[in-house]
């Protein structure tokens, strides 16, 4: 059955006749409002949803962080119990990494990549929606553990037999974000599968299944982006003309595909240990706890670069824009990004210097870790080369990007310090490490992502954030951040271990913990100010034209907000930085003769990605509830599998759909034509 023939070209999809799928099911193409958002396959809407959920979870993780800092402000503080503290830092780390930074990066991938490569959507629009909703449900499952924890503390479950039988009653994860076995696993001989002795309660089961679901979302999205970037570039957009952000997206997606299988395997093994009586990590049955660490960190270290590379891509877009110069050493920046990605798989054991690897592996991982400083340094040098000879405009995105370079540089320096294994023997698992990775991930990645938000918000919503508030927020974030995490370098060297919910007075840690807490609150106020500024902008901000920053990449050639078909006519690219060079004289951009009255082909919206993802909701609740010993919880898991399979089945059978949409003609930006398209 053809879907192309029976649509008359019209200006708006709302004027189209309702459509049905091959199964006769309703395709919500003409929907508006919340049905539109739930069934959308538009990469821009999916990107906005990713961003909105990510910002929400940033706030959740931030509140957890402030609770942690409040507890540590004074020695021998009894505000928060040990167990609650352990749950807070575990969920803080997990939330910030998997529910904050990764989805916010995914939001940028979604919104920007098709625009930057001159495409009308991603390669698999429905798979993209599936990634989004799977992330949303995975995040919900992970955080639902808090609901159980609060229910337990409030005593709601006391009357139930299963609750009385529980040995451990921590309902939110309390293992730290890397959940080392056997603390997260089992010990001793399992008498029955469900009653093998453990060290932690069902929080760990929530964590296992939650991360597993989030991994599926990340993997699906990564395949989608690799296909999109490799196959859907506009004519003339060769790989070495790709904007650096798109390049870093490609590298990140490849890292996700290569890194996540390791954690997937580890999580399945841990789940089998805990729920089905297997002994992968159970030392008393011959299992190897160290295996978990290898599997986790061969995922976990590339994960760091999965978090950092998108922010590096963002900064590599912002610097040329606000210095008025092309990126210095584009090929080297791209190549060093790839080298970082490659070397990222060769340094995992530097997280394990204290596990007794033996001198030869320790030396090898020490040297490899030092080696990774070279491509990272190359990026910083090239960013400086971009500034050199330029005209630096201190807009909010530029201020935040400069902050990114500075903080990331400091984080890199402390990283070099513990690449040296003997020095790391003193620093491992202390606040020195906390300081290091917060300089990389907060001073680096969060500032980079905030810069990206301020940079592309005018493109996403067609509205400009208030500049004064933006400067204020950036200042508060940078001051608060340094005040909170700078003293932690000292605390770590003064011997304060991480993940301790309290400490005695007399250890010399009191003053700087208090300073760090004050800094954390300033940082919190700064982030809140920035987010309020951005949310307000999305609805009420001052409207701006399509290219307020004098941008260089293709997305700035489009109207703001971007129409649903992106490019009315497909672009043909004649150079790197084609749009910028085109604006200033050379003919670098022409348009194909598609679109217009003959229309462009748009993918149909669908309920099926949402339905399939909803299966994970049942699985995500069912597995921990089985672990709690709630009767018949296993049927919830089976229901989830049925829903998942049914969703995928119907998805396959409903047909590709699609409709034609007319676009305006002659939307090419003005230029002064010169001799040739390419140089």
Which residues, numbered 128-187, are part of the site for other proteins (CB under 8 A)? 167, 174-176, 180, 182-183, 187
Counting Cβ atoms within 10 Å, is residue 207 exposed (0-12), middle (13-18) or buried (19+)? buried
Binding to other proteins by residue 471, rule CB under 8 A?
Answer: yes
Stretch that binds other proteins, among 306-314, 378-386, 530-538, 541-549 (CB under 8 A): 378-386
Nearest distance in Å: CB 57, other proteins: 23
* Paired residues of 572 in beta bridges: 235, 590
Task: Tell me the C-alpha distance between 327 and 567, whole Å.
Answer: 25
Q: Which of 161, 422, 539, 666 binds other proteins (CB under 8 A)?
A: 422
Q: Would you give the binding string for other proteins spanning residues 572-601, x where CB under 8 A is met?
A: ----x---xx--x-----------------
Task: Answer whether 587's CB lies under 8 Å from 573's CB.
Answer: no
Binding to other proteins by residue 290, rule CB under 8 A?
Answer: yes
Counting Cβ atoms within 10 Å, is residue 646 exposed (0-12), middle (13-18) or buried (19+)? middle
Which two tokens mark 476?
């508060």
Nearest distance in Å: CB 626, other proteins: 20
Stretch (H or E) spanning 450: helix 447-461
Q: Give 2 or 161: the residue with its C-beta nearer to other proteins.
A: 161
Q: Give 200 or 604: the residue with its C-beta nearer to other proteins.
A: 200
Nearest distance in Å: CB 618, other proteins: 31
Least Cα distance to 602 among 637, 564, 633, 570 occurs for 564
Binding to other proteins by residue 497, rule CB under 8 A?
Answer: yes
Q: Which of 119, 421, 587, 636 binds other proteins (CB under 8 A)?
A: 421
Nearest distance in Å: CB 329, other proteins: 3
Find where tokens 């339905």 sit. Answer: 611
In the region spanning residues 81 to 110, those forming contacts with other proteins, defined by CB under 8 A, are 81-83, 86
Handedness of CA 466, 468, 471, 477 (dihedral sign): negative
Which two tokens mark 18?
């309702």
Binding to other proteins by residue 495, rule CB under 8 A?
Answer: yes
Q: Give 175 or 663: the residue with its C-beta nearer to other proteins.
A: 175
Task: Tell me the C-alpha distance between 75 and 510, whole Å.
Answer: 6
Stretch (H or E) spanning 582: helix 578-583
Q: Is 356 left (phi over 0), alpha (psi -120 to 50) or beta?
A: left
Nearest distance in Å: CB 283, other proteins: 3
Q: Give 509 or 616: the residue with its C-beta nearer to other proteins.
A: 509
CB neighbourhood size of 570 (10 A): 17
Binding to other proteins by residue 498, rule CB under 8 A?
Answer: yes
In the region spanning residues 599 to 638, those forming contacts with other proteins, defined by CB under 8 A, are none
Q: Which of 150, 162, 276, 394 binds other proteins (CB under 8 A)?
A: 394
Q: Give 122 or 578: the residue with its C-beta nearer to other proteins.
A: 578
Q: Which of 9, 261, 329, 655 binds other proteins (CB under 8 A)?
A: 329
Least Cα distance to 310 among 459, 104, 57 occurs for 104
Binding to other proteins by residue 382, rule CB under 8 A?
Answer: yes
Q: Give 391 or 593: the residue with its C-beta nearer to other proteins.
A: 391
Which two tokens mark 191?
């008498």
Task: Tell me the C-alpha distance between 601 and 271, whole Å.
Answer: 45
Task: Answer whether 73's CB lies under 8 Å from 509's CB.
Answer: no
In the region spanning residues 354 to 373, those forming contacts with other proteins, defined by CB under 8 A, are 354-356, 358-359, 362-363, 366-367, 370-371, 373
In the region spanning residues 506 to 545, those forming contacts with other proteins, defined by CB under 8 A, are 506-509, 511-512
Stretch that binds other proteins, among 221-229, 242-250, 414-422, 446-454 (CB under 8 A): 414-422
b/e 452-483 (16+ beta carbons within 10 angstroms → b): bbbbbbbbbbbbbbbeebbebbbebbbebbbb
Stretch (H or E) spanning 239: none
Residue 423's contacts (CB-CB under 8 Å, 6 or more residues apart) are: 417
Binding to other proteins by residue 487, rule CB under 8 A?
Answer: yes
Task: Answer whether 249's CB lies under 8 Å from 225's CB.
Answer: yes
Binding to other proteins by residue 385, rule CB under 8 A?
Answer: yes
CB-hemisphere CA count at 13 Å for 674?
12
Binding to other proteins by residue 490, rule CB under 8 A?
Answer: yes
Task: Answer whether 219's CB lies under 8 Å from 138's CB.
Answer: no
Binding to other proteins by residue 200, rule CB under 8 A?
Answer: yes
Q: What angle do CA 51, 57, 62 make, to 5 degrees?
A: 125
Q: Give 235 or 499: the residue with its C-beta nearer to other proteins.
A: 499
Q: Which of 38, 79, 227, 493 binds other proteins (CB under 8 A)?
A: 493
Q: Give 374 or 638: the residue with its C-beta nearer to other proteins.
A: 374
In the region spanning residues 203 to 232, those forming contacts with other proteins, defined by CB under 8 A, are none
Nearest distance in Å: CB 589, other proteins: 15
Q: Give 107 or 465: the residue with its C-beta nearer to other proteins.
A: 465
DSSP conformation class of 603: P
Q: Which of 244, 315, 340, 387 binds other proteins (CB under 8 A)?
A: 387
Nearest distance in Å: CB 296, other proteins: 13
Within 494-550, residue ranges assigned H as helices are 510-540
Task: Answer whether 294's CB lies under 8 Å from 348's CB.
Answer: yes
Nearest distance in Å: CB 585, other proteins: 9
The count of residues interacting with other proteins (CB under 8 A) is 115
Q: Pairing relation of β-strands 659-661 and 589-591?
A: unpaired
In the region spanning residues 307 to 326, those forming contacts with other proteins, defined by CB under 8 A, are 323-326
Task: Tell me the C-alpha distance between 628 and 637, whole Å.
Answer: 14
Binding to other proteins by residue 546, rule CB under 8 A?
Answer: no
Nearest distance in Å: CB 221, other proteins: 31
Least Cα distance to 300 among 371, 369, 349 occurs for 349
Q: Give 40 or 362: the residue with its C-beta nearer to other proteins.
A: 362
Task: Tell me the C-alpha distance between 283 and 289, whole Å.
Answer: 7
Binding to other proteins by residue 430, rule CB under 8 A?
Answer: yes
Nearest distance in Å: CB 100, other proteins: 21
In the region spanning residues 260 to 289, those forming contacts with other proteins, defined by CB under 8 A, are 283-284, 286-289
Stated length of the chain: 679
- Our CA dihedral for 286, 289, 292, 293, rounded to 10 degrees, sits at -150
Stretch that binds other proteins, among 21-29, 54-62, 208-216, 472-480 (CB under 8 A): 472-480
Q: Give 134 or 336: the residue with its C-beta nearer to other proteins.
A: 336
Q: Give 86 or 218: the residue with its C-beta nearer to other proteins.
A: 86
Q: Give 15 or 550: the residue with its C-beta nearer to other proteins.
A: 550
Report CA-CA distances (Å) from 1 to 153, 459, 601: 58, 38, 16
Q: Give 33 or 286: the residue with its C-beta nearer to other proteins.
A: 286
Stretch (H or E) spanning 236: none
In the region spanning residues 43 to 82, those forming contacts with other proteins, defined by CB under 8 A, are 78, 81-82
Binding to other proteins by residue 405, rule CB under 8 A?
Answer: yes
């Amino acid at each position: 059955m053809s879907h192309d023939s029976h649509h008359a070209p019209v200006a708006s999809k709302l004027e189209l006749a309702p459509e049905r799928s091959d199964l006769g099911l309703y395709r919500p193409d003409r929907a508006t409002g919340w049905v539109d958002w739930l069934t959308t396959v538009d990469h821009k809407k999916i990107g906005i949803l990713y961003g909105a959920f990510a910002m929400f979870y940033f706030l959740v993780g931030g509140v957890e962080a402030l609770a942690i800092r409040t507890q540590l402000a004074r020695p021998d503080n009894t505000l928060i119990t040990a167990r609650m503290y352990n749950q807070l830092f575990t969920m803080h780390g997990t939330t910030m990494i998997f529910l904050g930074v990764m989805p916010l990066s995914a939001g940028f991938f979604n919104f920007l990549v098709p625009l930057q490569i001159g495409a009308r959507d991603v390669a698999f629009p429905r798979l993209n929606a599936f990634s989004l909703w799977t992330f949303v449900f995975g995040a919900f499952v992970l955080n639902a553990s808090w609901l159980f924890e609060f229910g337990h503390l409030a005593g709601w479950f006391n009357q139930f037999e299963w609750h009385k039988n529980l040995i451990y009653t921590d309902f939110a994860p309390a293992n730290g974000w890397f959940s080392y076995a056997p603390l997260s696993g089992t010990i001793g001989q399992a008498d029955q599968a469900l009653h093998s002795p453990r060290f932690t309660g069902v929080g760990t089961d929530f964590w296992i299944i939650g991360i597993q679901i989030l991994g599926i979302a990340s993997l699906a999205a990564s395949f989608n982006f690799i296909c999109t970037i490799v196959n859907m570039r506009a004519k003339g957009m060769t790989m070495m003309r790709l904007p650096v952000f798109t390049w870093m997206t490609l590298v990140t997606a490849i890292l996700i595909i290569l890194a996540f299988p390791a954690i997937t395997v580890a999580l399945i093994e841990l789940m089998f240990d805990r729920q089905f009586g297997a002994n992968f990590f159970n030392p008393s049955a011959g299992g190897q706890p160290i295996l978990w660490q290898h599997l986790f960190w061969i995922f976990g270290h590339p994960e760091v670069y999965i978090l950092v590379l998108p922010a590096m891509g963002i900064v590599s877009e912002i610097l040329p824009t606000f210095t008025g110069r092309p990126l210095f050493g584009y090929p080297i920046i791209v190549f060093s990004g790839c080298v970082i990605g490659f070397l990222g798989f060769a340094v995992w054991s530097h997280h394990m210097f204290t596990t007794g690897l033996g001198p030869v592996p320790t030396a090898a991982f020490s040297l490899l870790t030092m080696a990774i400083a070279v491509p990272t340094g190359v990026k910083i040098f090239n960013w400086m080369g971009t500034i050199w000879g330029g005209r630096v405009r201190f807009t909010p995105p530029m201020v935040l990007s400069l902050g990114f370079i500075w903080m990331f540089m400091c984080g890199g320096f402390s990283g070099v310090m513990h690449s040296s294994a003997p020095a790391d023997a003193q620093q491992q698992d202390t606040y020195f490490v906390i300081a290091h990775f917060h300089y990389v991930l907060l001073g680096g990645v969060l500032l980079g992502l905030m810069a990206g938000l301020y940079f592309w918000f005018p493109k996403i919503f067609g509205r400009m954030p208030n500049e004064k508030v933006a400067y204020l927020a950036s200042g508060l974030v940078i001051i608060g951040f340094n005040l909170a995490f700078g003293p932690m370098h000292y605390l770590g060297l003064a011997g304060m271990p991480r993940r301790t919910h309290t400490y005695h007075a007399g250890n010399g840690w009191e003053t700087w913990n208090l300073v760090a807490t004050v800094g954390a609150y300033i940082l919190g106020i700064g982030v809140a100010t920035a987010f309020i500024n951005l949310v307000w902008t999305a609805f009420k901000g001052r409207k701006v034209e399509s290219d307020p920053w004098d941008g260089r990449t293709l997305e700035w050639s489009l109207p703001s907000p971007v129409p649903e078909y992106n490019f009315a006519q497909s672009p043909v690219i004649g150079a790197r930085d084609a749009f910028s060079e085109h604006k200033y004289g050379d003919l670098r951009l022409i348009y194909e003769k598609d679109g217009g009255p003959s229309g462009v082909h748009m993918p149909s919206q669908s309920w099926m990605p949402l339905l399939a993802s909803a299966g994970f909701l049942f699985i995500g609740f069912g597995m921990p509830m089985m672990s709690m010993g709630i009767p018949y919880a296993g049927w919830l898991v089976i229901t989830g599998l049925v829903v998942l399979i049914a969703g995928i089945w119907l998805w396959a059978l409903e047909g590709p759909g699609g409709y034609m949409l007319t676009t305006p003609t002659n939307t090419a930006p003005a230029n002064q034509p010169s001799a040739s398209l390419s140089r």
